[in-house]
Amino acid sequence: MPDQMTDPSDLRGDCVQCFGLCCVALPFARSADFALDKPAGRPCPNLQGDHRCGIHADLRQKGFTGCTVYDCFGAGQKVSQVTFGGQDWRTGSKEHARRMFDVFPVVRQLHELLWYVTEALSLPAARPVHPELRQAREKTERLTRGTPGELAALDVAAHRQEVNVLLLRTSELARAGVGGKGRGKGKDRRGADLIGARLKGADLRGASLRGAYLIAADLTGADLRGADLIGADLRDADLTDADLTGAFFLTQPQLNAARGSLGTRLPGSVGRPVHWTAVR
């Protein structure tokens, strides 16, 4: 059905309907984000027999910050309940488990694309490309429902590039007239190295920050209204009192990796991270 994925809630992880795939299929290395090393395909030692995390309420305190900023965009429940029909990796054969772990990252990428395309379709300024975006959404949704073999063989990079052409056009249309001064498009800072940059109070209205490195950048009080944030690395960026109203292609994992406050203004597509308001 063409409109099957328009509800954003379908594009958020539902751990109850998943077999803990992110806790098994994905690797992680001992670092500031993870307290230990874990290879792909091996269950995290914190994963319980019911596929739930045994330290979920204390992940940050126990050194698993990386888990708190991750979201599968609903791919976990799709792979668990649709692709593999509810048969988990514990009770199936080793080959069944391997195929499930191989397919999960593929579907995760497709669901992330669905998130972006669905948001693009909600932007009135992008109306000229809405027909093409609907086609892209339908094709991407169709791909997510492929067989395990079809998904494993899928050239995800090629499909991403195809969709990205439309997302770039969406960005151009959405940012037109949002920037400062002459009200043209904001600055183009695609892929810019802004690690640790001092951008306190900066006027970044309508800016393209696609893939920009904003790690630990000071964006306190910055004006990011109408900015394109697709793929921007916001790890430990300070968004205290920043205005992200109307910013688009911003995902919850990006926001969860940043720092902020009650005064940070956010677009309706994301929620305020719990750790922003936690008592320190």
Going from the C-alpha of 141 to that of each of 15, 44, 56, 58, the distances in angstroms are 20, 30, 30, 35
Residue 274 confidence class, pLDDT cut points 50, 70, 90? confident
Q: How far apart are CA 136 and CA 60, in angstroms?
A: 37
pLDDT tens digit sequence for 23-32: 999 999 999 8
| Planar angle of CA 217, 223, 228, nearest 5 degrees | 80
Q: Per-residue pLDDT tens for 179-236?
A: 655 555 678 999 999 999 999 999 999 999 999 999 999 999 999 999 999 999 999 9
Strand partners, 208: 188, 228
Q: Sort 9 into a burial class: Cβ within 10 Å, 0-12 / 13-18 / 19+.
A: exposed
Q: At what angle do helices 156-175 and 94-121 cross, to 10 degrees?
A: 20
Look up the pTM and report it.
0.91
Q: For 51-107, write each residue's pLDDT tens digit.
A: 999 999 999 999 999 999 999 999 999 999 999 999 999 998 999 999 999 999 999
The span from the CA of 107 to the CA of 145, in Å, is: 9
- Is residue 197 within 8 A of residue 177, CB to CB? The reply is no
pLDDT of residue 187: 87
Question: How confident is the model over 118-130, as pLDDT tens digits?
Answer: 999 999 999 999 9
